């Protein structure tokens, strides 16, 4: 190592030491190059910005952020990268800006020369081939991260409400290992940008002084339609652009002087609702969408009887043009829908122009979302507008979703959106039970990458690593290699199962085909039979996925899956490492089975509130689930804190809270 070790080099040396220790049963000697006795061994690995690397002609200190080199020169193997003075603490935080080039060089070497793979959090997910020695030929690789931002929003949960895990220690161990896995899979970001619903506070701040900033509703008033936080903006109002740019300038004065400054982009992401402004000027910006004439909301026929009924959920849902991340009691309808994409693009372009008066690097960043998800019809996305695309998809991700996604994303690209952020919500699907829809998603991920995707933020990592082992590995691995697809990910995972690979492959097939048999309609149908929680969510929605467990799986699914895992254990023939991996898969499955039993018993008891026997059966089923989780929680199976919290809040399961923070029911994180 260099005489003076940087934060990334230190972390990289720890990772190399750890994996060499696992491979050889003995940790290597690590010394500063000033203390290196070159006569002791003929070969050395030089990690980081050593003088030796510079002397060997490597471009030390000249690599781009996150770039890395793995190269042999003479008797030395050199691992160097663009680290930009990233500190040790910054390296460890996967959600903060950090340049980990040297670490990525080490990971590249571990994967390609040492055959290491990381399948899931914790030691059983680490595939490190045992060896007595290793030999390498000439190597010369140079690489970078194709996407400058790639991560899941995280559910830490346990910081705010202590539930699910039996102690702070087991919770922390889980979150630490999960983060380590994400680092090893190169999740991270080299440049941040400000995004997320950014007008939520505006009504409170400007509602009285500047009503012209806000949406004109069909009742002739500029006011919130449901609650102030989701009041939308009159995007064609010039004083709105100026106000937003003023706020941005104040923000940038601070942000530009931080250690790793973000992009100087103006956050134009609207409130979390469909765009609603009916004013003449906004309407004149809209594209020639024939649905405006047919929609009662937009064609003026509502003006007289626009009342509470319209201020409710129906409006938001009806205008959302097919968004599937909420499953609704009313059948999905586009009765009121029309596309507002043209007016929003116009808005973003205008804000960008205003901001560029102050900073030539400025751009505007805004959503393609709800009723402005379809590509604009007449307004081209300007060169200084960045689009965050939020696909409508949730569960299942089928051929129809894929076709819709490609039509919409491809349409935006054709209308000039050359830089797009991909910001899906479908990772919230499936709770902590086995699903796998990564194959089709990753085909479309590759399509997105070849059509302008430069960043990906996924909402959210629910941490069901065992139950969704294949799905989550494929999704996680793709973030650093968007063109790689699903099949190679399957090969990666199976490589950890030796002689059991065939049976495990059939287990993954079974999960995948079970997922694929669902349609949006059939899933919604079981959801309607399982409405739960204080929000009266249709079962299977992202807050209450476990409400549908009784209908989503049947007993045969578990019998068949267990049979395959039993077969895998027999095939593993006492190879302890492989048996441990098969048993890891079984834990998520067993958790789901116990969760299903619990849900069935809960429904039976709810249907007969006076039946003590049914209540007792439910109590026993719930206890079995909780006891089981306690017995496996140290094995990095699942983010039980998150799942228990939502089961408690939205399915009504009586999880015991160890201690609660301020707002235990809202654990959404990200923006």
**In whole angstroms, how close is the CB of 278 to Zn ion at the nearest point?**
7
Nearest 10 degrees: Cα torsion 500, 503, 506, 512: -60
**In whole angstroms, how close is the CB of 231 to Zn ion at the nearest point?**
13
Cα–Cα distance, 59 to 184 (Å, whole number): 24
- Residue 340 contacts residue 536 (beta carbons within 8 Å): no
**In whole angstroms, how close is the CB of 316 to Zn ion at the nearest point?**
18
Respond yes or no on whether the N-terminal peptide bond of residue 498 is cis (omega within 30° of 0). Answer: no
Q: Which is nearer to Zn ion, 149 or 233 (CB)?
A: 233
- Residue 274 contacts residue 320 (beta carbons within 8 Å): yes
Q: Which is nearer to Zn ion, 12 or 277 (CB)?
A: 277
- Residue 642 contacts residue 542 (beta carbons within 8 Å): no
Cα–Cα distance, 64 to 41 (Å, whole number): 32
Q: Which is nearer to Zn ion, 260 or 281 (CB)?
A: 281
**In whole angstroms, how close is the CB of 606 to Zn ion at the nearest point?**
47
Q: Which is nearer to Zn ion, 239 or 450 (CB)?
A: 239
**In whole angstroms, how close is the CB of 377 to Zn ion at the nearest point?**
18
**In whole angstroms, how close is the CB of 238 to Zn ion at the nearest point?**
11
Q: Which is nearer to Zn ion, 282 or 453 (CB)?
A: 282
Select the span of 194-202, 282-290, 346-354, 405-413 touching Zn ion (CB under 5 A). Answer: 282-290
**In whole angstroms, how close is the CB of 279 to Zn ion at the nearest point?**
3
x/- map, 86-115, Zn ion, by CB under 5 A: ------------------------------
> How many residues at the interface with Zn ion, by CB under 5 A?
5
Cα–Cα distance, 23 to 515 (Å, whole number): 37
Per rule CB under 5 A, is residue 277 in the interface with Zn ion? Answer: yes
Q: Which is nearer to Zn ion, 279 or 531 (CB)?
A: 279
Which one of 45, 73, 255, 279 is in contact with Zn ion (CB under 5 A)?
Answer: 279
Cα–Cα distance, 365 to 529 (Å, whole number): 40
**In whole angstroms, how close is the CB of 207 to Zn ion at the nearest point?**
15
Closest CA relative to residue 350, chosen from 363, 337, 341: 363
Q: Which is nearer to Zn ion, 90 or 237 (CB)?
A: 237
Q: Which is nearer to Zn ion, 235 or 429 (CB)?
A: 235
Per rule CB under 5 A, is residue 624 in the interface with Zn ion? Answer: no
Select the span of 103-111, 274-282, 294-302, 585-593 touching Zn ion (CB under 5 A). Answer: 274-282
Closest CA relative to residue 581, chosen from 477, 500, 463: 500
Cα–Cα distance, 297 to 225 (Å, whole number): 13
**In whole angstroms, how close is the CB of 374 to Zn ion at the nearest point?**
19
Q: Which is nearer to Zn ion, 216 or 493 (CB)?
A: 216
Cα–Cα distance, 549 to 526 (Å, whole number): 9
Per rule CB under 5 A, is residue 510 in the interface with Zn ion? Answer: no
Select the span of 56-64, 269-277, 306-314, 469-477 touching Zn ion (CB under 5 A). Answer: 269-277
Per rule CB under 5 A, is residue 282 in the interface with Zn ion? Answer: yes
DSSP 649: I
Tally of CA atoms within 13 A in the half-sphere of 370 that contains its CB: 23
Q: Collapsing DSSP states into helix, strand and coil, what is residue 454?
A: strand
**In whole angstroms, how close is the CB of 287 to Zn ion at the nearest point?**
15
Strands 385-389 and 363-368 come out as parallel
Nearest 10 degrees: Cα torsion 93, 457, 180, 262: -20
Q: Which is nearer to Zn ion, 213 or 445 (CB)?
A: 213
Contacts to Zn ion from residues 547-566, by CB under 5 A: none
Contacts to Zn ion from residues 220-259, by CB under 5 A: 234, 236
Alpha helices in 256-398 (DSSP H): 280-285, 291-294, 308-311, 313-318, 341-356
Closest CA relative to residue 443, chosen from 494, 492, 403: 403
Residues found near Zn ion in the complex (CB under 5 A): 234, 236, 277, 279, 282
């Amino acid at each position: 190592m260099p005489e003076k070790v940087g934060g990334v080099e230190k972390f990289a040396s720890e990772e190399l030491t750890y994996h060499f220790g696992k491979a050889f049963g003995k940790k290597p000697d690590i010394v500063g190059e000033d203390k290196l006795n070159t006569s002791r061994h003929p070969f050395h690995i030089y990690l980081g910005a050593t003088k030796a690397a510079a002397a060997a002609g490597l471009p030390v200190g000249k690599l781009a952020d996150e770039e890395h080199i793995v190269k042999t020169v003479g008797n030395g193997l050199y691992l160097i990268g663009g680290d930009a003075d990233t500190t040790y603490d910054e390296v460890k935080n996967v959600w903060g800006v950090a340049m980990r080039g040297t670490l990525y060089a080490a990971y590249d070497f571990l994967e390609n020369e040492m055959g290491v793979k990381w399948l899931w959090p914790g030691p059983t997910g680490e595939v490190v081939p045992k060896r007595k020695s290793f030999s390498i030929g000439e190597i010369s690789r140079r690489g970078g991260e194709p996407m400058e931002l790639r991560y899941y929003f995280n559910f830490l949960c346990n910081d705010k409400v202590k539930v699910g895990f039996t102690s702070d220690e087991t919770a922390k161990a889980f979150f630490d290992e999960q983060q380590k896995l994400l680092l090893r899979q190169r999740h991270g970001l080299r440049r941040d940008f400000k995004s997320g619903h950014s007008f939520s506070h505006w009504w409170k701040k400007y509602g009285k002084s500047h009503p012209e900033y806000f949406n004109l509703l069909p009742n002739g008033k500029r006011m919130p339609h449901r609650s102030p936080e989701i009041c939308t903006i009159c995007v064609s109002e010039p004083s709105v652009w100026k106000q937003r740019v003023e706020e941005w300038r104040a923000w940038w004065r601070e942000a530009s002087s931080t250690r790793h400054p973000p992009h100087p982009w103006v956050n134009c992401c609207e409130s979390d609702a469909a765009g609603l402004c009916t004013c003449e000027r906004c309407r004149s910006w809209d594209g020639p969408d024939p649905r405006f004439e047919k929609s009662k909301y937009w064609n003026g026929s509502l003006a007289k009887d626009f009342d509470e009924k319209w201020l409710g959920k129906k409006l938001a849902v009806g205008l959302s043009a097919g968004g599937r991340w909420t499953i609704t009691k009313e059948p999905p309808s586009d009765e009121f829908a029309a596309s507002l994409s043209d007016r929003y693009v116009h808005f973003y372009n205008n804000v960008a122009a205003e901001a560029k008066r102050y900073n030539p690097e400025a751009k505007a960043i805004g959503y393609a979302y709800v009723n402005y998800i379809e590509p604009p019809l007449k307004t081209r996305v300007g060169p200084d507008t960045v689009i965050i695309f939020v696909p409508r998809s949730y569960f299942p991700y089928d051929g129809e979703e894929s076709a819709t996604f490609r039509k919409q994303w491809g349409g935006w690209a054709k209308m000039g959106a050359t830089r797009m952020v991909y910001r899906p919500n479908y990772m919230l699907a499936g709770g902590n039970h086995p699903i796998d829809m990564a194959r089709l998603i990753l085909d479309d991920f590759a399509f997105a990458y070849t059509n302008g995707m430069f960043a990906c933020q996924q909402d959210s990592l629910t941490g069901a690593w065992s139950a969704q082992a294949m799905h989550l590995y494929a999704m996680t691995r793709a973030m650093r290699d968007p063109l790689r697809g699903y099949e190679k990910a399957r090969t990666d995972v199976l490589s950890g199962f030796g002689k059991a690979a065939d049976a495990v492959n059939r287990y993954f097939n079974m999960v995948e085909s079970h997922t694929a048999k669902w349609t949006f309609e059939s899933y919604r149908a079981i959801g309607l039979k399982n409405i739960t929680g204080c929000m009266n969510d249709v079962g299977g929605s992202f807050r209450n996925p476990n409400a549908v467990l009784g209908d989503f799986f049947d007993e045969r699914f578990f019998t068949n899956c267990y049979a395959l895992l039993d077969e895998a254990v027999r095939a593993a023939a006492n190879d302890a490492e492989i048996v441990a991996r098969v048993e890891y898969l079984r834990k998520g499955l067993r958790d789901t089975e116990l969760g299903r039993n619990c849900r069935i018993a809960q429904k039976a008891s709810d249907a007969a509130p006076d039946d003590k026997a049914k209540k007792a059966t439910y109590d026993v089923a719930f206890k079995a689930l909780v006891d089981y989780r306690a017995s496996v929680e140290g094995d990095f199976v699942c983010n039980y804190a998150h799942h228990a919290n939502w089961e408690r809040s939205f399915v009504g399961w009586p999880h015991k809270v160890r201690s609660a923070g301020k707002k235990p029911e809202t654990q959404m994180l990200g923006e």
